[in-house]
Amino acid sequence: MKSSLLFVEPPRNFWFVMGEYLPPPSSLLILAAYVERELPGVDIDIVDCQADRLDWKGLERYIESTDPSIVLTSGFTTNAYTCARTCEIVKTVSQDIVTIVGGIHFSFTTEESLRNYPEIDYIVRGEGEQTVVDLIKTLQNKGKISDVEGISYRKNNTIVHTPARPLIENLDMLPYPAYHLVEKNLKRYHFTMMAGRNTRYMILEGARGCEHQCSFCTQWNYWGSRWRTKSAKRIADEIEFLHNTYGGVFLWLADDHMGLSSRGKQLYEELRQKQCKDDIMLFFQARIDDIAQHPDLIGNLREVGTYWILCGVETDSQEILIEYKKGIKTQDAYQAMKIMKQKDIFSQAMFVIGARRDTHESIERLREYSNELTPDIAIYTALTPFPGTIYYETAKKNGWIEDTNYSNYDMAHAIMPTDTLTRKEVQEELWRCYKTFYGSVTKNIAGVISNNKLKRTLYRHMAGQFVVEKLRRLI
């Protein structure tokens, strides 16, 4: 079998809550880099429909004209249908093209996805690099598919799941993401609200998984309850490489949390030796307890380019935090916000509404709490039962899930009611959260004319994108 691989980032809807942006297809770039290194004779192409402005018809034409032997695509729950649609288009072009999908959503819904989408040939479960290389080689050599660990597929009328593949122990062995395969698009990747329209946006990965077990999150479960990190040196080298080679400025570290205690200091030591530290805008996610315990490290990381930190505050209710298995105290949030302010870091706080015990009153308290915390930006989300989470299992068992259309699983749509609120009321409460935080005229005027450039951009952008109005329309 000839081998030419086409990685597809399908046409997608963006998450309007964060305004206008165009992200690089990070999962595909990370995966493609490994395949390119391990299978040097194979042709590899990446088509990014967003950046190339291709709609579904355009993608079909692209596939027809490039005639790949294998098409690979990736998605998470809310955009999984775009992967299925990609595979469907592939099969209309030619039944002979093999389709492979991977990522969190498909890994947790293998049976359902293979049943619903006959156009998907193989699902790669979990960590993709070694499995996909093994699968491609096996397809090339017409080998025994059942010997490939970590895949699910249909055989006759049954669905076969081969045993899970062990995780890669040393993430430093992974190559740098294959940005050279999307070089013509580099100038297009941006995140207006976070860094401005013309600032080059790149995503890199420093760790996989999480050692915590939040009940609404898929990540820890997906990565086998482990947190594996690249070395601080490797992360700093990768940052330097992306900046020096491709001009990356707004660099988004994809890790689910920074892990300040275990690598904050080392990362600082490594980055302070790099010249690029003065030119980059580093973004990462961190836990509020971790920030509260390490004010100095936050200051250090500010010195080496960190300018925006996202943290999950979730709720003001200690009971709900316990239900979420979050392992933080509401008090940590005050401390964390204060530290970020002192250290001149833009703070993004994430909140969740719609827990089973949430009421109008409890959500009102959450609104007051989020206002009191005064993060630079507050993002409110509706509790979403992503397949693979503890919450999904509980919600499914109890019949709480009212909306089964995965494309709405974007955390801006209410999917479940609570004990006392209908789903519509949860949606309405979500809108009220944004209205309260961003709707205040005084605050908006202060934001739009703020001395802080980021704050100015944010408020102008929020107003320009009509985010509050878009949320109202979801009710």
Q: Under the rule (CB under 6 A), what is the footprint of ligand B12?
A: 12-15, 23, 25-27, 30-31, 72-74, 76-79, 100-105, 124, 127-129, 132, 203, 205, 217-219, 252, 254, 256, 381, 386, 410-411
- Give min distance, CB of 254 to ligand B12, in A: 4
Residue 28's identity, in one-letter code, is L
Q: How far is the CB of 84 from ligand B12 (least distance, A)?
A: 13
- By the 8 A CB rule, do 37 and 136 touch? no
Closer residue to ligand B12 (CB): 31 or 390: 31
What is the rounded distance in angstroms from the CA atom of residue 198 to the CA atom of residue 186? 11
Nearer to ligand B12, 25 or 264 (CB): 25
Cα 282–chain centre separation? 16
CA dist., res. 403 & res. 388, Å (int) = 17
Phi and psi at 229, nearest 5°, equal: -120, 150
Which of 72/297 has CB closer to ligand B12? 72
Q: Residue 324's Cα: distance from chain center in Å?
A: 19
Nearer to ligand B12 by Cβ, of 21 and 334: the residue is: 21
Helices (H), 2-79: 26-38, 56-66
For ligand B12, give the closer residue by CB, 262 or 359.
262
411: alpha, beta or left? (left if phi > 0; alpha if psi -120 to 50): left
For the chain, the maximum distance between any two Cα atoms, rounded to a whole number of angstroms, is: 67
Least separation in angstroms between residue 195's CB and ligand B12 is 12
Q: Among residues 457, 392, 412, 432, which one has the least CA distance to residue 193? A: 457
Quote helix, strand, coil % in the chain, to nearest 5: 45, 15, 35
Residues whose CB falls within 8 Å of the CB of residue 101, separated by 6 or more in sequence, listed in order = 72, 73, 74, 75, 83, 84, 87, 113, 120, 122, 123, 124
Give 129 or 323: the residue with its C-beta nearer to ligand B12: 129
Quick one: 107 or 418, whose CB is closer to ligand B12? 107
Minimum distance from residue 427 beta carbon to ligand B12 (Å): 16
Nearer to ligand B12, 36 or 269 (CB): 36
Q: How far apart are CA 100 and CA 71, in angstroms?
A: 6
Q: Please give the single-letter amino acid code of residue 409.
A: Y
Which residue bears the tokens 């249908």?
A: 81
User: In angstroms, rounded to a whole number, what is the distance separating the alpha carbons of residues 171 and 173?
Assistant: 5
